[in-house]
Structure 1
Amino acid sequence: MFDRRLFRSFDFLLLLTVIAILLMSLVVISSVTMHDLSGDPFFVQRQAMMFGVGFIILLVIVSIDYTIFYRFTPYLYGINLLMLLAVLFLGSSAGGAQRWIELGFFRLQPSEFAKFIIIISLARHMTAREGDFESLFSPIPFFVHVAIPMGLIFMQPDLGTSLVFIVIVFGMLFMAGAKLRHLAFYAIAGAAVGLPLLYTRLQEYQRMRLFIFLNPDSDPLHYGYQLIQSMIAVGSGGVWGKGLFADGTQIQLDFLPEQHTDFIFSALAEQLGFVGAIVLLLLYLILIFRILRIGANAKDTFGMLICFGVASMLVFQVLVNIGMSIGMMPVTGLPLPFMSYGGSSLLMNMMAIGLVLNIGMRRHRLMFGN
């Protein structure tokens, strides 16, 4: 039965920070979809419902000792591969990508849940090999561990999520004790060998995103349109923004595509300005700091690696999403954690935070002996 004394170590600030970001998300989504230009008036209701479902899942995960996940990790990894394979044969398509499985009431995106599962499975794999990271060849089994699901995701195609996997494995390897010079060697060698091969496998629209990143004005009405409109939206917000539910040109006139998903940061910046953007960034800073703090105080290597894996995932997605909104990164389609509309992404992130809170609550196990 759940021991209430565990709440002595519960990180309420982390949970409140997540809730604050989610409330900002609901307000911005409500504002940008108020005119229902897409023909769907229920974005906010669905996101709020997913928030509720995610919160329940978070509480369930918090109530279970996280070490139980260590035992079931091989099964989770196998289920993950089956779901990713199912997408290739049974998945539905949108925007040139086949990433979803239609469940009637819900569009499941297995690549989102794959992030959560790969963090747990890597943490177990690295814990089992603890202390064995001196050799240059030590990281290879972990690259293979990640390469299989990453390859299936790349075939969807989903380059952005594939890059998240790379960041997760490098970040967790560093925290597990792999030498920095060895990781640098693999990063350089991987880039030298993999980038030319990767480029030949990219879809036409993915290649154009890279060209547009270097020169958005080369195709302002087609491939460069999103990026240009996003930068206009961010810049037009000024210091205080044009106001929520106001007549901002890029948002309310629907010049900015995907304003409630990939480019929600641009929508926030136009409506709440520099001040609103800074508030959101500060919330993310608190979020990451609390996760790293829990990881640093975890009672075991397994818990520590899970926390740093979650932190690596969130940091990369925040940097890439905001970077593409202001023209500092290529457009990848990565969602902004807890802000972008999307059920699978929100549920996965709530599961990850639930596991981090779980690890933080159980960092002083000996305190609860009989």
Structure 2
Amino acid sequence: MRLTEKRSIWQIIKPHLLVFDAQLTLIVFLIVSTGLITLYSAGIDFPGRVEDQMRNVLVSFAIMWIFANVPPQTLMRFAVPIYTVGVALLVAVAAFGMIKKGARRWLNVGVVIQPSEIMKIAMPLMLAWFFQKRQGMLRWKEFAVAAVLLLIPVGLIAKQPDLGTAILVGAAGFYVIFLAGLSWKVLVGLAVAGGASLPVVWSLLHDYQRARVMTLIDPSADPLGKGFHIIQSTIAIGSGGVAGKGWLHGTQAHLEFIPERTTDFIFAVFSEEFGLIGNCILLVLFLLLIGRGMIIAANAPTFFSRLLAGAITLIFFTYAFVNMGMVSGILPVVGVPLPFISYGGTALVTLGLGAGILMSIQRHRKLVQT
């Protein structure tokens, strides 16, 4: 194109509009659609819930589009400020945060926010930046510093207490450290040390957290109390059989036996209505999501973007694995939503932000190649 040739408005805005990775967008769209269909059934007694979720989805896709336009280099420049602000807000929560249902997790800064949500993205950003700056000279000292950077926010979040978010933030940071080249010998050593420290960890848990672990071991010990969630969700999953009872025909959900059926336990509703076949299809969709994310990570042009893309992808895996595990009765109940399916705005925004970063990494890799 000659210098004197004027570009049309479409030519100017086109690169900023068509930023979505086609494969990743299709997979997310299919999972979100599955979630809305399930939520319609699960939330039939909650008027307006589907409409609210559709608004949340639109906000999530808007966030996804915004971050798909942000170059990875820009994200790297903001990694330290975002992490610093996030930790400062967590300290503020510990000092004078709002208490709801016995937990101090929220902060009123004109609007009520939950700073721990910031760390789900700030943590992998910070550690990816840290390892990028030290690429080629990674020794045990660097991994020790990274561990400290990880343990500070995880400890503050666990103290609130918010074990579910602490697990997600800890996993996000661990994935970056692992992908940066943490030795398997160190991992084995950490596993042994973790096993040896279980009595200490047990003594530090809150009473309700200990109860969740004991309920996992024997939910029948308190079938109408602490074991009610697990017992009813596993009944729902088992009663779905191979083909399920059919959409809108789940008895456990519509007779209100499944608690939190639109949020943390929506997988039980899906399993009851769509059965083993539906679960297999959903698992394939999540595997496709994770596979696409790992392909983007493998093809990323810089160490920073590879670590960040890999960690975000494995966060998606952690969300799905922990949620399905706790609903199925093989993991303790920790309050982790099923990604892109459970009702809730905060989780959807966080997930949309993560997907947008993946798309940014893929898009700017193509721009560099061209």
**Structure 1-normalised TM-score?**
0.90
The residue type paired with residue 133 of structure 2 is A
- Which secondary structure does the structure 2 equivalent of 1:362 belong to? helix
Q: Contact 2:19–2:65 (CA<8 Å) still a contact in 1?
A: no
Q: Contact 2:20–2:65 (CA<8 Å) still a contact in 1?
A: no
Q: Does 1:91 align with 2:98?
A: yes
Give 2:8's aligned residue: none
Q: Residues 174-323 of structure 1: matches in 2 within 5 Å? A: 174-193=178-197, 195-246=198-249, 248-323=250-325
**Most deviating of 285-294 and 75-84:** 75-84
Per the alignment, do residues 222 and 159 of structure 1 end up closer, same or farther by CA in structure 2, a change over 3 Å counting? same
Deviations 1:54-105 (A, max 9, x none): 11111111112121011111110122123323434233414x433344689x
Cα distance in 1 for residues equivalent to 2:273 and 2:108:
34
Larger Rg: 2
- Which secondary structure does the structure 2 equivalent of 1:22 belong to? helix
Q: Does 1:16 align with 2:18?
A: no
Give 1:150's aligned residue: 154
Per the alignment, do residues 311 and 305 of structure 1 end up closer, same or farther by CA in structure 2, a change over 3 Å counting? same
- Which secondary structure does the structure 2 equivalent of 1:98 belong to? strand
Cα distance in 2 for residues equivalent to 1:6 and 1:290:
22
Report sequence identity in percent: 36
Gaps of 5+ in 2: 1-10
Q: Please state how far the C-alpha of 1:168 moved relative to its aligned partner.
A: 2.5
The residue type paired with residue 60 of structure 1 is I
Cα distance in 2 for residues equivalent to 1:27 and 1:86:
39
Q: Contact 1:26–1:44 (CA<8 Å) still a contact in 2?
A: yes
Gaps of 5+ in 1: none
Cα distance in 2 for residues equivalent to 1:107 and 1:306:
28
- Which secondary structure does the structure 2 equivalent of 1:75 belong to? helix
Q: Paired residues, what number?
A: 359
Q: Does 1:340 align with 2:342?
A: yes
Q: Contact 1:2–1:63 (CA<8 Å) still a contact in 2?
A: no
Per the alignment, do residues 103 and 285 of structure 1 end up closer, same or farther by CA in structure 2, a change over 3 Å counting? farther
Deviations 1:118-145 (A, max 9, x none): 111111011112223343x442111100
- Which secondary structure does the structure 1 equivalent of 2:136 belong to? coil
Q: Contact 2:61–2:352 (CA<8 Å) still a contact in 1?
A: yes
Cα distance in 2 for residues equivalent to 1:366 and 1:14:
20
Deviations 1:267-313 (A, max 9, x none): 10011111111111111000000000000000101100011111221
Aligned-residue CA RMSD (Å): 2.2
- Which secondary structure does the structure 1 equivalent of 2:319 belong to? helix
- Which secondary structure does the structure 2 equivalent of 1:329 belong to? coil
Q: Please state how far the C-alpha of 1:203 moved relative to its aligned partner.
A: 1.8
Cα distance in 1 for residues equivalent to 2:151 and 2:130:
14
2:76 pairs, out of 62, 70, 76, with 70
Give 1:79's aligned residue: 85
The residue type paired with residue 64 of structure 1 is V
The residue type paired with residue 254 of structure 1 is E
Q: Please state how far the C-alpha of 1:10 moved relative to its aligned partner.
A: 5.2
Give 1:360's aligned residue: 362
Q: Contact 1:9–1:362 (CA<8 Å) still a contact in 2?
A: no
Per the alignment, do residues 350 and 2 of structure 1 end up closer, same or farther by CA in structure 2, a change over 3 Å counting? farther
Per the alignment, do residues 29 and 218 of structure 1 end up closer, same or farther by CA in structure 2, a change over 3 Å counting? same
Q: Contact 1:92–1:101 (CA<8 Å) still a contact in 2?
A: no
